[in-house]
Chain A
């Protein structure tokens, strides 16, 4: 039982990660692919933050009377990773806008058809 409870958090996070990953590789719509990447990355953030959690701890802001704090390092890493994720989303969507203007579609299959005709 404890074995099961000990990792349930991680297992749900893995399902979330794979949901995002699936959207990226299975969906032909370019906007939805970027959204899939976003979900994938956000779920990886939950993985990192979960490992920082300590039973009975509080946020890592030093205060009188508190002694158990969660690990601040994964928080720092994920702050950076959130920024990377935003940068990727912004560039990805900017490319989608330009592709839409150049091809008149944002569907991968339709773009392939147009490229074949060239």
Chain B
């Protein structure tokens, strides 16, 4: 009975636990509640993945109302992979969060933090699972509103302005999406994604649908921080509490990418999106710009969190590059990189949280000689950095390999060169941190710095472990990504 209701429970259980968490007055209880729920969500995500793997796409009618009258939950392989990413990052960051939150947040905020975190988790999961365009907007807002709050809780006052900037841009994005959904509804009379895609061909050649497509694309691009609409991201990730940066960098923008995939392939269809609207060329151009410009900007940052944030903008460029090819190979390479980058960036931001806890700073010029004091943390950073660069035997290598292959198959050899060049840029910015930590003489106060606590190191190394494992044996995850891409494109071809 519970198993057949798994799609709904996947979202409803974190949703219900958020108010429960608010009722728990003791922060330790709130943390325990969030921890248990996070691991429960991961268990459900694995079960769900297994169900989709064996049974194929799952459809669940909420309230037992048939589509298009009721709201449908619909999970295919791409969705199941996204849920797994969100759930994994959530489960890994929660044990880490306790020390980090105690350190970086005011004591009176710690209880509310866990409530907002669970709401954000609910929103992200809800976006992925839903098969209804308006329901997507509602859960997008749940995740956005809670992430504004999470970011604003950061230790410096600039967290407030970062959150405000994100709120304004995020709301503009959401309103654009709402306008797009409204225009789609106006022309098709339905909100169910499958139903829209079936009724769309009749009206596809109208100006209204073209405008709807443009508004949805721009709105979602703000949410996923596609260059040049990324300007909210560097501040948000720099000034948010470290665990929030890790969680958001690994999930929020990734879910944005997923929404874009849903709209392009499931809803509008490959034909319309790429052949009629030529979105592939535009995306490819923006992705190239993102990869080059953001990587260059990252080199000149002294604050490592800000450097990683710009690196995220570049990495989103890689994912979009794969999608812009609009082939099964390209989209599956994009999805593979989406998974790998979530694990890499999560681990790197978590390493920065460890450093901030002990050093009180994440500026490169304060890190001189840090490797001797915090060997495990710095080793995690180096391992994550190697994966980010794309060195063989790491996860980053696998996804870049597939990306290069997909580009070469379509004859885009300059893209392959671009990927190599930008890997060199990544090497430079990672090296700046490594040089400071390993090869500079320590400052006067450095001997007081101790290694981070195990509660923070072990979760960081768990994500690094996933990276190394994928680097050695990428069979399973590649298979899932390929099935996900096939499911997305297959639906589009019907």
Give yes or no for direct A-B contact (beta carbon below 8 Å): yes
Residues of A within 8 A of B (CB): 17, 21, 24-25, 30, 33-34, 37, 40-41, 44, 47-48, 51, 73-74, 77, 80-81, 84, 87-88, 91-92, 95-96, 98-99, 102-103, 111, 115, 118
Residues of A within 8 A of B178 (CB): 44, 81
Chain A residue at smallest Cβ distance from B190: A73
Question: Is residue B163 within 8 Å, beta carbon to beta carbon, of the partner chain?
Answer: yes
Residues of A within 8 A of B175 (CB): 37, 40-41, 44
B182 touches A33 (CB 8 A): no
* A103 touches which of B157, B171, B185, B186 (Cβ 8 Å): B157
Give Cα A30–Cα B174 distance, bound, in whole angstroms.
19
Given contacts A44-B182, A48-B182, A96-B164, contact A91 B145 (CB under 8 A): yes
Residues of B within 8 A of A30 (CB): 164
A88 touches B160 (CB 8 A): no
**Can you show 24 pairs from A to B with CB atoms below 8 A apart?**
A21-B172, A24-B172, A30-B164, A34-B168, A37-B175, A41-B171, A44-B179, A51-B185, A51-B186, A74-B185, A77-B134, A80-B134, A80-B138, A81-B137, A84-B141, A87-B145, A88-B171, A91-B148, A91-B149, A95-B167, A99-B157, A103-B161, A111-B161, A115-B158
B182 touches A51 (CB 8 A): yes
Chain A residue at smallest Cβ distance from B151: A95
Given contacts A47-B179, A51-B186, A98-B152, contact A88 B167 (CB under 8 A): yes
Give Cα A44–Cα B179 distance, bound, in whole angstroms.
7
Residues of B within 8 A of A41 (CB): 171, 175
A115 touches B141 (CB 8 A): no
Give Cα A90–Cα B269 distance, bound, in whole angstroms.
38
Chain A residue at smallest Cβ distance from B164: A95
Expressed in whole angstroms, the minimum distance between the Cβ of A24 and any Cβ of chain B is: 6
Given contacts A44-B178, A44-B179, contact A91 B167 (CB under 8 A): yes
Residues of A within 8 A of B138 (CB): 80, 84
Given contacts A47-B182, A80-B138, A98-B152, contact A24 B157 (CB under 8 A): no
Residues of B within 8 A of A84 (CB): 138, 141, 174
A-B CB contacts (within 8 Å), total count: 73
A95 touches B171 (CB 8 A): no
| Residues 280-323 of chain B, each 1 if its beta carbon lies under 8 Å from chain A, else 0 | 00000000000000000000000000000000000000000000
With A21-B172, A92-B167, A95-B148 known, 13 other A-B pairs at CB within 8 A are A24-B168, A44-B178, A44-B179, A44-B182, A74-B185, A80-B138, A88-B141, A88-B145, A88-B167, A88-B171, A91-B145, A92-B168, A99-B164
Residues of B within 8 A of A98 (CB): 152, 160
B160 touches A99 (CB 8 A): yes
Determine chain A's interface SS by DSSP, over half rule: helix
Residues of A within 8 A of B161 (CB): 99, 103, 111, 115
Residues of B within 8 A of A34 (CB): 168
Give Cα A40–Cα B179 distance, bound, in whole angstroms.
11
Give Cα A105–Cα B168 distance, bound, in whole angstroms.
18
Expressed in whole angstroms, the minimum distance between the Cβ of A84 and any Cβ of chain B is: 5
B171 touches A37 (CB 8 A): yes
Expressed in whole angstroms, the minimum distance between the Cβ of B159 and any Cβ of chain A is: 10
A102 touches B157 (CB 8 A): yes
Chain B residue at smallest Cβ distance from A115: B158
Expressed in whole angstroms, the minimum distance between the Cβ of B136 and any Cβ of chain A is: 12
Chain B residues numbered 324-379 whose CB sits less than 8 Å from any CB in chain A = none
Give Cα A103–Cα B159 distance, bound, in whole angstroms.
12
Give Cα A77–Cα B158 distance, bound, in whole angstroms.
35
Expressed in whole angstroms, the minimum distance between the Cβ of A98 and any Cβ of chain B is: 5
Give Cα A77–Cα B160 distance, bound, in whole angstroms.
31
Residues of B within 8 A of A21 (CB): 172
Expressed in whole angstroms, the minimum distance between the Cβ of A115 and any Cβ of chain B is: 6
Chain A residue at smallest Cβ distance from B141: A84
Chain A residue at smallest Cβ distance from B179: A44
Residues of B within 8 A of A47 (CB): 179, 182
Residues of B within 8 A of A91 (CB): 145, 148-149, 167
Give Cα A91–Cα B186 distance, bound, in whole angstroms.
31
Expressed in whole angstroms, the minimum distance between the Cβ of B238 and any Cβ of chain A is: 12
Give Cα A77–Cα B136 distance, bound, in whole angstroms.
12
Given contacts A24-B172, A40-B175, A44-B178, contact A95 B141 (CB under 8 A): no
Give Cα A24–Cα B148 distance, bound, in whole angstroms.
18
Chain B residues numbered 175-198 whose CB sits less than 8 Å from any CB in chain A = 175, 178-179, 182, 185-186, 191
Give Cα A15–Cα B156 distance, bound, in whole angstroms.
39
Chain B residues numbered 99-146 whose CB sits less than 8 Å from any CB in chain A = 134, 137-138, 141, 145
Residues of A within 8 A of B168 (CB): 24, 33-34, 37, 92
A95 touches B134 (CB 8 A): no
Expressed in whole angstroms, the minimum distance between the Cβ of A38 and any Cβ of chain B is: 10
Residues of A within 8 A of B149 (CB): 91
Expressed in whole angstroms, the minimum distance between the Cβ of A88 and any Cβ of chain B is: 5
Give Cα A47–Cα B211 distance, bound, in whole angstroms.
15
B160 touches A102 (CB 8 A): yes
